[in-house]
Amino acid sequence: MRLLLFLICTLPFLAKAQTELYGMHSRWSDSFGEWYLASPVERQAGTMERQYPMGEDWTQWRVQWDGYTGTIRQKWTNQPDQWEVRYANQIVTMRTVYPGDLNSWRIVGGNTTLTWERPYRNLDAKWVIRGNSYGNFTVYTEYEGDPRDWIIVDEANEEVTTAMKLAMAFLSVYYSTPKV
Higher pLDDT residue, 86 or 178? 86
User: How far apart (Å, rounded) are the C-alpha atoms in residues 48 and 154?
Assistant: 18
Q: Where are the domains of the chain?
A: 31-174
pLDDT tens-place string over residues 54-71: 889 999 999 999 999 999
Whether the predicted pLDDT of 165 surpasses 80: yes
Instruction: Supply the pLDDT for residue 4.
Output: 42
pLDDT tens-place string over residues 117-135: 999 987 889 999 998 799 9
Q: Of the candidates 147, 127, 130, 146, which has an alpha carbon nearest to the alpha carbon of residue 138?
A: 127
The whole-number average pLDDT for the span 100-108 is 95
- Name the average pLDDT for the chain: 90
Question: Are the CB atoms for 32 and 147 separated by under 8 Å?
Answer: yes
Instruction: Supply the pLDDT for residue 10.
Output: 45
Instruction: Supply the pLDDT for residue 1.
Output: 53
Question: Are the CB atoms for 33 and 154 separated by under 8 Å?
Answer: no
